[in-house]
Amino acid sequence: MFEDTHPAHLDTSGGCDPWAPFRVPTSDARIALLRELRDGSVPVLVSSPAGAALRTAVWAMDTNQQRINFSVDERNPQLARLVESDEAVGVAYLASVKLQFELTGLMLVRGLRACTLQAEMPQEIYRFQRRSSFRVRAPDRHSPSARLHHPAIPDMLLTLRLLDVSAGGCALWLPDDVPLLQAGTQLAAVHVELDAETRFTAGLVLQHISAIAPGEHGVRLGCEWQSLGSGAERTLQRWIDLAQKRRRLLSLT
C-alpha cells in the first residue's frame, strides 16, 4: 500500500540540517538498511522532482563501486523520465519505519535477461516513524492537551485532553457537557501542548467518534493532522521518537 508513501520535503538550507535527528549516522548502518530492503524484496517508490514515479525493489548492491541497482520493467513509460531527471528520491517501509533517501547518477543498465535502474549508493538515509503507526498513549498525569475554539460556537474555547498521539493524528477526549462535534468537521488553529517544551499549532479533521469506556462521561474524537507545517512535523516526530525510546528502555528493566 502506497497511499502514504510520499517523500518528505527535507529543506536543509540555512546552514543547518533540522532533520539531522532522523538521519542514519553511519555508512555501515545505511548499508544494513539497504540490504534489508534487498533481502526482503521490499517495495520502493522511486520518484523524481518532475513527477515521474515507479514502484520497484532493490535488486543488487556494489559497495566497492558504490552503486545500487533496482529491478525495473523496461516497458514502463515512467522509466525514461526518471533517467532523464538524473536524480530521484526513494521511499520504502521497514515495519513501522519509513526510509527516505536521495538517488543520483541514474542510468539504465540492460542485461541479457534483465533491466535495472542503477544509481549511486545513497549517502544519506532518513528514518521516520510511519504515519498512523506508532501511537503514544498519553499518561494520566500531566497529560498532553489541545486548545481550540468550538467550530459551532466560536466564543467557546476548549482545552481537551489528548488520549493518544501518532504521526498521523491524535485522539481527544470530549466531555459530555460540551456540544458534540460531527465526523468530518475541520478544526483549525489547534494549539497542541505535548509537554512543557513541546508545543505546536496545526489543523485537525475529525474522522470518527467513539465511546471511551462504560461509565466515562465523554467520547473519544479520532482526528487526523492537517496543515502540519515542517516545523510542527519535526517537533511531533522528535517527541514520538523519544517516547518510543523510553518505552524500549522500560521494557528492558
- The domain that holds 195 is classified in CATH as 2.40.10.220
Could you say which of 84, 107, 129 is where a domain stops?
129
Burial class (CB in 10 A: 0-12, 13-18, 19+), 221: buried
HSE value, Cβ hemisphere, 13 Å, CA-based, for 163: 15
Q: The domain containing residue 140 runs over which residues?
A: 136-252
User: What tens-digit pLDDT sequence spans the chain (253 residues)?
Assistant: 333 445 555 555 555 566 777 888 899 999 999 999 999 888 888 988 888 888 899 999 999 999 999 999 888 888 888 888 888 999 888 866 788 999 999 999 987 777 899 999 999 999 876 544 455 555 555 678 999 999 989 899 999 999 888 888 888 999 888 988 888 899 999 999 998 889 999 999 998 887 665 556 788 898 999 888 888 888 888 888 888 777 666 655 5
Q: What's the domain count of the chain?
A: 2
| pTM (two decimals) | 0.52
Q: Are residues 152 and 231 in the same domain?
A: yes
Q: Are residues 170 and 67 in the same domain?
A: no
Shortest CA distance to 53 belongs to which of 11, 20, 95, 5? 5
238: in domain: yes
